[in-house]
Structure 1
């Protein structure tokens, strides 16, 4: 096939260097409760995050803790590591008991070493804080795994509390970030997420009963420093009208195996100032996609080749691998019930859903029942709750399919030999190579075209600039009419992503180039983020992005 070099992704695992599994982790690791919020980014305020789905992403025993040997060099050691004294975040050794109380992981199963990334997190316990009509007893401490996450527990003498939030933000400014409180959590345990490193912040608790509202005085604290092994994101463009929020991403596929044993976070989040606000240690070699779970309590991660799907508590304290999903690859979708859906590598390729307790249900046993391809290479998936369906990209199909959660084909866009309804392309020729995509509520379908046609005939296939294409889908006339396209003359052979933003702009991720742009409908770049500094410091292959998702808030349901 002519497209063999577009992907650069083999169907077999790369040689050696896999992180070993082992150790144990507590089954607790609680995080923030339900709800949406408004997040403040320095210099502006983001829109609303929306409401969350249900509770219950914690396994009832079906998941195993992620462990691993220290001999690989992929993670910092307990005694030191990249962050100096106290180390950053070790993986598990041996032992570790299961805890039913939630807070701390077992010895050897936690992501926290002696001192963690913060060298001993400051803790304030049982402080009485006055409110305007009541009083609070407040404890708060920095996460030992992620220094920009603050963990707050509290109680109040306000009777009959039915709802609560924690408002927080940079000290001395408007507290415009809002963490929803899950009142069912012991001590109303709540995480403050999305904060910059080594900065003074403040929070106040707002508790509501049926009859009244009580707001606490402000409590000031300082976040920990961001480790020096976390990528430095350069914001190269900034214009009026750019979105404010956060981008969840990964380092992507290490095609040239140039990362070696460098400490690189497997997933990280940066805000639209370019500041990294959340990260994991290096857990896998080829993290291609990461997404916050539907209820906002966990971060999910997929390894392209070796480890399958991992789940990380948002306080960074617990990492779990999911048995039975070692063959998951490329991408996955988070579901309303707290589970996920993903593709499994094999002959045949299949598609499965995973419940919060680890139960795996096969939705499509063989993807060839949905579409034809010379080689099956599914690489990106999205869940659509409005009609309980999925859209799936396949590189060698050179197209996409939509199918229901019961595995029934709805339609095919692009490709050949459709097995059900398909769209006639209007104003658009068949394309070469596709990965990330976004089906919007108004029937527009945007996708990342890896190898777009070039006006320069001297440019060979598989080296032509990538492009974003938007089509309007008409399921009455079965036409897909091209309505928009964009190219920055950058090329991404692997991955590549696109997302329509709440303000109508488009987020474009050139994975191989290490560039993410926000583009207006007129083609103006209003902000851009670049990871090229990693190439300068560590060599080729370090500056990639995986798939990327913009969120106005790190709480609440996902934006797509």
Structure 2
């Protein structure tokens, strides 16, 4: 759907405006284009001379403002964050040489989410301090989709994916693009998919055995998990490697589990085809500032840190052979680790011993002393033991010292403060895995 109009104001100043006589009306041409079937819209406008500008918008008046401070004659802004089902309005304002041009107020009809976008139930309404968005990859046997939720649990953007193919999606605010990995589907080659708001996609080939998780790299590349099979004692053991993938699809191995671990011969998960999964990397986190990659290894109850620049192992955290001393409660069967505070903290979801379905999942945060290699529990949250036998999931520490806990196969996401109080929660219900989720502080105004 496209709206086009000429919005005029009178320029009474003696200063000249290109394309208009002194004292005549200056015009702004505004085009508003819907991004596919979503509530996201692209606002474009032209000015006769170089000008700054802003878009004022909202569902109840024009309270939100997104600015484009770059002086130019052509302006492009994505307006994202309006919920599905909501009608809203916008107005463009541009200024040059002390003169202001203001468009008419444009009404944008409500966009409805398609049936395959399963909107969650808001089980705990947001506290005042809860802001931002939650990006989720949901997958099941019949369908898969990516969705961005606002603080009310309403979808503000979505994209359909293949069933049982994508556990994680990422958003890059600098380029206003989403990325996800489609892997493990029958007859299809794994690939990294990057999409604009309006669905223009590019694909980069992923390693043939890429699985579970990935992270975006600076400059358009990716880092991912991939299997590394070895024949041991007549058995194919599915080890792991961490692979960096360039934008052209070429890749290099940064680390392999065989350089660090020795298969004990009786560990791991035996598959129907006779192969054994061990140690089973299930999730990862990339700290771009430090150039460090965390990888969760399920069947050895460990997290390892890889240095991207040197392609070498820094340390192993947790489990037998840990390089760290964990004071207090440790973890098992973990997913979704992340580092924060320049490596002085780690958050993860302790899913419990693999195969022990009665174990309750616990979100844990540790304070780390990198020099002494000691870790002490800062915080934990188990939702009263409500979530047992959980697969996937992650714990994400936020700057306000709250933690977003994605309960994976339980189909719930909670935001919990440092006191253990739930400040926001949504539930998709059993049968819809929420995979891994990412908190996104701001969506609106991406200049692309």
Q: TM-score range by the shorter chain?
A: 0.7 to 0.9
1:197 match:
84
Aligned match of 2:181: 302
CA 1:181 to 1:228, structure 2 compared with 1: closer, same or farther past 3 Å? farther
Give yes or no for the alignment of 1:345 onto 2:227. Answer: yes
Is residue 378 of structure 1 aligned with residue 281 of structure 2? yes
For the aligned residue pairs, the C-alpha RMSD in angstroms reads: 2.9
1:220 aligns with 2:121: no
Q: Could you tell me which residue of structure 2 aligns to residue 141 of structure 1?
A: 33
Q: How do 1:477-492 residues align onto structure 2 when only pairs under 5 Å count? A: 477-488=372-383, 489=385, 490-492=387-389
Distance 1:215 1:415 in 2: 64
1:445-498 Cα deviation digits (max 9, x unpaired):
111000179xxxxxx933211001111110121101112111011125311111
The question of 1:291 aligning with 2:170 is answered yes
Q: Aligned pair count?
A: 403
Kept in 1: contact 2:28–2:101 (CA 8 A): no
**2:57 maps to what in 1?**
168
- Structure 1 counterpart of 2:424: 527
Farther off after superposition, 129-138 or 309-318 = 129-138
Paired position in structure 1 for 2:313 = 409
Once the two structures are superposed, the pairs formed by residues 459-538 of structure 1 within 5 Å of their partners are: 461-488=356-383, 489=385, 490-532=387-429
Task: Show CA shifts across 1:293-335 (max 9, x none).
Answer: 3524321112351253332423342334322434221111122
Match of 2:340 in 1: 440
**Offset, 1:546:** 1.3
8 A Cα contact 2:38 2:111, kept in partner: yes
| Partner Cα separation in structure 2 for residue 424 and residue 238 of structure 1 | 39
Assess if the C-alpha contact under 8 Å between 1:329 and 1:344 holds in 2: yes
Aligned to 1:369: 259
Change (3 A) 1:527 1:194: same
Deviations 1:491-519 (A, max 9, x none): 25311111112322111111111111111
Alignment match of 2:440 (pick from 551, 556, 560): 551
Deviation at 1:126, TM superposition (A): 4.7
After superposition, the Cα gap between the structure-2 partners of 1:215 and 1:312, relative to the gap in structure 1 and judged at 3 Å, is: farther
Q: Give the conservation status (yes or no) of the 8 Å contact 1:291–1:300.
A: yes
- For residue 24 of structure 1, what is the aligned residue in structure 2? none
Q: Distance in 1 between the 2:288 and 2:99 partners?
A: 34
The CA distance in 1 between the partners of 2:70 and 2:207, in whole Å, is 30
Alignment of 1:99-118 (within 5 A): none
Q: Which runs of 5+ in 2 are unaligned?
A: 14-25, 230-238, 268-277
Please identify runs of 4+ aligned residues in structure 1 that moved more than 6 A: 181-184
Q: Does 1:267 align with 2:146?
A: yes
2:196 alignment partner, one of 305, 311, 314:
314
Deviation at 1:150, TM superposition (A): 1.1
| 1:171 Cα deviation after fit | 4.4
8 Å Cα contact 1:433-1:451 kept in structure 2:
yes
Q: Is the 8 A contact 2:335 2:392 kept in 1?
A: yes
Task: Summarize deviations over 1:366-403 as a string: whole Å, max 9, x none.
Answer: 23224556513112111112221111111123111112
Q: Secondary structure at the match of 1:288?
A: coil
- Distance, in Å, in 1 between the alignment partners of 2:412 and 2:99 is 45
Q: 3-state DSSP class of the match of 1:188?
A: strand
Distance, in Å, in 1 between the alignment partners of 2:34 and 2:208 is 33
Q: Distance in 1 between matches of 2:94 and 2:288?
A: 32
Q: Is the 8 A contact 2:79 2:445 kept in 1?
A: no
Match of 1:29 in 2: none
Residue 265 of structure 1: how far off its partner (Å): 4.5
Q: Which has the larger radius of gyration?
A: 2
Three-state SS of the structure 1 residue aligned to 2:258 is helix
Give, in angstroms, the shift of residue 249 of structure 1: 0.4
Provide the rounded CA distance (Å) in 2 between the counterparts of 1:220 and 1:508.
Answer: 37
TM-score normalised by structure 1 residue count: 0.66
Note the C-alpha offset of 1:131. Answer: 8.4
Change (3 A) 1:388 1:555: farther
- After superposition, where does 1:11-22 map in structure 2 within 5 Å? none
SS at match of 1:368: helix
CA distance in 2: counterparts of 1:389 and 1:179, whole angstroms:
34
1:289 Cα deviation after fit: 0.6
Equivalent of 1:423, from 313, 317, 324? 324
Question: TM-score with structure 2 length normalisation?
Answer: 0.81
In the alignment, structure 1 segments of 5+ residues that lack a partner are 1-120, 454-459, 536-540
3-state SS of paired residue (2:336): strand
Q: Please give the secondary structure, in 2, of the residue aligned with 1:280.
A: strand
Residue in structure 2 matched with residue 399 of structure 1 by the alignment: 302
Distance in 2 (alpha carbons) for counterparts of 1:205 and 1:173: 11
8 A Cα contact 2:415 2:425, kept in partner: yes
Please say if 1:335 is aligned against 2:217. yes
Would the aligned equivalents of 2:6 and 2:27 in 1 still touch at CA under 8 Å?
A: no
C-alpha separation between the residues in 2 aligned to 1:365 and 1:473? 23
- What is the deviation of 1:192? 1.7
